[in-house]
Amino acid sequence: MKSSLLEKTIARKDIYNGKVVKLHVDDIMLPDGTASKREVVDHCKGVCVLAVDSEDKIYLVEQYRYPVSSQILELPAGKVEEGEDMFECAVRELSEETGVSGSDYELLGSFYVSPGFTDEEIYMYFCRVDDKKDSHPDEGEFIYTQRYSAEEIFEMIEKGDIKDGKTIMAMYIASSRKLI
Amino acid sequence: MKSSLLEKTIARKDIYNGKVVKLHVDDIMLPDGTASKREVVDHCKGVCVLAVDSEDKIYLVEQYRYPVSSQILELPAGKVEEGEDMFECAVRELSEETGVSGSDYELLGSFYVSPGFTDEEIYMYFCRVDDKKDSHPDEGEFIYTQRYSAEEIFEMIEKGDIKDGKTIMAMYIASSRKLI
């Protein structure tokens, strides 16, 4: 039997407690008993939604992402609020960011964004857009809603014009399940 | 023409400067002129390698990931060192984590892991394993090297037993290009 690679916490030092992230640096013990440190960013869970309308167009939002200094295209997405359930969060974010509502929700899966330094996990949903009324995101969201075919999105992924992890992953999973 | 959604930096406050992450909190100006804050985690770029041997087996490594408190399966991967080029990093990490070397390297693409709070970008490579000598990771790496077929890996992804973002993404892209 393979032995455990567990890293034991010896002490925890809280560095920052923010609105989006918490940072702590822990003294740990490696499996062979030697001491080391781990820098950990705590982040709440997130969701994204791949919403397809009756014309087979997928909703993307364009927004400025300050950490990467660029205006990028992504699936509608957001952070799960305290006490909120993943599915509720998906419904809320889709509505807030695009103005549309969906049905036939299906969980595509979840993934750790970068388990070497953060616990963030993103849940990816698929849904079909109910109505095609002229939609508007909520006031105060600085985003442009756009609609593209799956082919157009895969072309943008191939060319490197779409670089957001959750968006790329949800597209491939939905395609492999023949949802798009 | 759509107007820019640029968020301008007004002031930057450095909170932590670690070995793996840097954290800063910036005062910014939103497109409508109102003030806001952004919590940003700077992280160096990363690579992962999908290495396939002559028996069509893919190398995975099992390791403890402290931020998610679990021992998980991932593609061999690591952080790009100062002055190191992505490809060199891929070759080095594959060797250090599995003991094997590869050829016919191909870039599968890159993605932002979570552009809402970090600049981390991961470059995904594919390669074919050159030799099948008995391989050992470097001393001091607490990992188990394992080999699985693509089918086995996709089954583990479907069941939620593999939850690492870069691993899932590289598998889907390599499959769509008929490399695996």
Is A7 at the interface with chain B, CB within 8 A? yes
Q: Return d(Cα A8, Cα A30) in angstroms, integer.
A: 7
Chain A CB contacts of B20 under 8 Å are 39, 116-117
Question: Residues of chain B with pLDDT > 90: what percent?
Answer: 90
Question: pLDDT tier at B99 (50, 70, 90 boundaries)?
Answer: very high
Chain B CB contacts of A150 under 8 Å are none
- Catalytic residue status for B139: yes
Count Cα neighbours of B40 within 13 Å in the Cβ-side half-sphere. 22
Determine the pLDDT at residue A26: 98
Determine the pLDDT at residue A70: 96
Evaluate whether B175 touches B150 at the Cβ level (below 8 Å): yes
Is B176 at the interface with chain A, CB within 8 A? yes
Is B61 at the interface with chain A, CB within 8 A? no
Is A112 at the interface with chain B, CB within 8 A? yes
Give φ, ψ of B176 to 5 degrees.
-65, -25
Determine the pLDDT at residue A133: 63
On whether ipTM exceeds 0.90, the answer is yes
Give φ, ψ of B40 to 5 degrees.
-125, 130
Determine the pLDDT at residue B132: 61
Give contacts of B 113-172 with A, CB under 8 A: 113-122, 142-144, 157-158, 160, 163-166, 168-169, 172
Please report the DSSP string for chain B in residue order. Answer: -PPP---EEEEEEEEEE-SSEEEEEEEEE-TTS-EEEEEEEEE--EEEEEEE-TTSEEEEEEEEEGGGTEEEEE-SEEEPPTT--HHHHHHHHHHHHHS--EEEEEEEEEEES-TTTB--EEEEEEEEE---S---PPTT--EEEEEEEHHHHHHHHHTTS--BHHHHHHHHHHHHTT--
What confidence tens digit (pLDDT) does each residue in B35-93 have? Answer: 999 999 999 999 999 999 999 999 999 999 999 999 999 999 999 998 999 999 999 99
Count Cα neighbours of B138 within 13 Å in the Cβ-side half-sphere. 9
Determine the pLDDT at residue B3: 73
Q: Do B15 and A16 touch (CB under 8 A)?
A: yes
Is A54 at the interface with chain B, CB within 8 A? no
Which residues of A are known to be catalytic? 139
Residue with tokens 């870069």: B166
Per residue of chain A (180 residues), give pLDDT as tens: 567 899 999 999 999 999 999 999 999 999 999 999 999 999 999 999 999 999 999 999 999 999 999 999 999 999 999 899 999 999 999 999 999 999 999 999 999 999 999 999 999 999 999 876 666 666 667 899 999 999 999 999 999 999 999 999 999 999 999 999
- Taking 70 as the threshold, does the pLDDT of residue B161 lie above it? yes
Q: Which of B55, B82, B139, B158 is catalytic?
A: B139
